[in-house]
Structure 1
Amino acid sequence: MLTATPAARNSIETQPASVVFEWLWLLPFAAALYYPWALLWSNQAHVAGAGSLVTVGWMLTAYAVPLTAFVCVYVTGAQPLISGRLVLARRLACLAVAVPPAFTLLGVLLYLMKIYGHDIAVWSGLWLALTGYFTMHSSTRPIINFPTSNNAYRRLRVAHGISSLAIMLVFLAPHLFNHLLGVFGADVHRTVMDVLRVVYRNAILEPIIILAFFFQLLSGLVLIRPKTISRADLLDALQTASGAYLTLFIASHINSVFTLARYFGTETDYRWAVGDPVGLVADAWSIRLLPHYSLAVFFLIAHLACGMRVVMRNHHVRPAVYGASTWTAIIIGGLVTAVITAGMLGARV
């Protein structure tokens, strides 16, 4: 274990820039508190007929929340020296990146508890409590340890990568392809989904897929910790932030599908996913699903691309090659996200 030396800690204490960056957590926390209001005002603008520009404008401010948090993840990771408070700031910025699935998960849990119409109040209370907790702990400026890589960590990282590849090939790639077909209509999506369900709802394969997702979730929580206490470039920050997002998304999605939908007998087809016939934007609750799903698609592909970058780098592939490959995959992820989101909003070919 490597521990920050007193001299290094003194250097951190005397760096004005680092002190400023340590308080960057205030920005994503304020944005997280704002997030449900952005969705509410976008929905109200749409229902009131205020015009597409107003509706889209409010929705873009909702998307700006995880973007703001990601910038904080990157900026705190780019500092030359890392203090304990800076680590806490980066970890909580990672949590703020995952605001869309966190707000969706909260909404489903409140619905199951028959607590209606209080999502924003509960959300605000939870984030304010978390803010108070962070403020108390950050004031102590804790000393942190910087662990070295070890065999157990490397083996877990390899297992995480192999598991993600298996899930991608067996379930996620066909699943995303099916969602791409949403632009051709719900009937086309349903036809392909019925074929795919024969495979991934198989009595043997489905439990394996679910267990694999839980392994990804738990192993991801272990792997993300050391990434928040070391310096990081832009793509390292993207891998960390996207991992945080996907962790909460997996928890939220599994809860929604197996507890809310399966338990109550709801058919979880494309019409269910896009809030048909009302639509996502027109429904005050379902509007949260738009950033929730669309960002999940982008962060999934970006996370896989960044993981591929690490593998290529560790196998001594030239930086120009793995850099170009990573950015190409991320751009493709952006295009896939745009098509799927357009379909969710009613665009048809």
Structure 2
Amino acid sequence: MQKSNEMIRIHYISGLTITVFIGLHLFNHFCSIFGEETYMAIMDTLRLFYRNTFVETILLVAVFIQIVSGINLFKKSRKIATSHFEKLHIWTGLYLAFFLIVHVSAVFIARLFLHLDTNFYFGVAGLNTFPFYLFFVPYYGLAILSFFGHIASVHNKKMKNNILSLTPEQQAESILIFGFVLTIILFYGLTNHFNGVTLPHEYKIIIEKIKNV
């Protein structure tokens, strides 16, 4: 029991660390509704804080801990989860583990082997190219919804007080609704208001190579 509680605590702390970064990342994505230049300007500012060896090492360690501890907790919790939010907690956690493995791997492959800047265009290439958006829309959409679903589940479990006459469960539901609305807004921005983004040459080449595989 003590070992399990320690794993939960470590999982929670690493989760908070990643949540700060994801929050900044989603804010950057939100700014895409104001145009690519605004997105890139804010990205460059944020990179002053996190694009360095020290912070990236902390993030990578946190991601590793989150994935390993999360999978272990999933194995232990999936048979005893009964409520909707308990089930939401473990399944969103499993998807986030999958997403983090794929996404972090893709970012480092792009940076280290393809020598691409993982900027706005790297993130939106799949969202704005047929047939790749058939995969990337649900891939990113489920990741954002899982992120807010995970937060909502934790909030429902830990919150004990009403806020603005909303019960903890209603607060958790509000977090889910916010996540759903934000997902639509982000897709609106990352697809140039659903009109499509014109990709620079180096990102088009990668897309064409993948098509020809």
After TM superposition, the score normalised by the length of structure 1 is 0.52
Residue 164 of structure 1: aligned partner: 15
1:207 matched to 2:53? The reply is no
Q: Is the 8 A contact 2:110 2:117 kept in 1?
A: no
Residue 69 of structure 2: aligned partner: 219
Question: Residues 10-159 of structure 1 correspond to what in structure 2 (within 5 A)?
Answer: 150-159=1-10
Residue 171 of structure 2: aligned partner: 325
The match for 1:198 among 48, 51, 58 is 48
Gaps of 5+ in 2: 195-213
What SS does the corresponding residue of 1:204 show, helix, strand or coil?
helix
Moved over 6 A (4+): none
Q: If you compute each CA radius of gyration, which structure gives the higher value, 1 or 2?
A: 1
Residue 203 of structure 2: aligned partner: none
CA distance in 1: counterparts of 2:123 and 2:129, whole angstroms: 14
Q: Is the 8 A contact 1:178 1:192 kept in 2?
A: yes
Gaps of 5+ in 1: 1-149
CA distance in 1: counterparts of 2:184 and 2:133, whole angstroms: 19
What SS does the corresponding residue of 1:193 show, helix, strand or coil?
helix
CA distance in 2: counterparts of 1:177 and 1:232, whole angstroms: 34
1:303 matched to 2:150? The reply is yes
- Seen in structure 2, the aligned counterparts of structure 1 residues 231 and 215 have a Cα distance that, compared at 3 Å, is closer
CA distance in 2: counterparts of 1:161 and 1:270, whole angstroms: 30
Residue 182 of structure 2: aligned partner: 336
The Cα shift of 1:337 comes to 0.9
- Seen in structure 2, the aligned counterparts of structure 1 residues 204 and 282 have a Cα distance that, compared at 3 Å, is closer
Instruction: Give the count of matched residue pairs.
Output: 191
1:273 matched to 2:146? The reply is no
The Cα shift of 1:231 comes to 4.2
After TM superposition, the score normalised by the length of structure 2 is 0.83
Q: Which amino acid aligns with 1:210?
A: L
Q: Is the 8 A contact 1:239 1:307 kept in 2?
A: yes
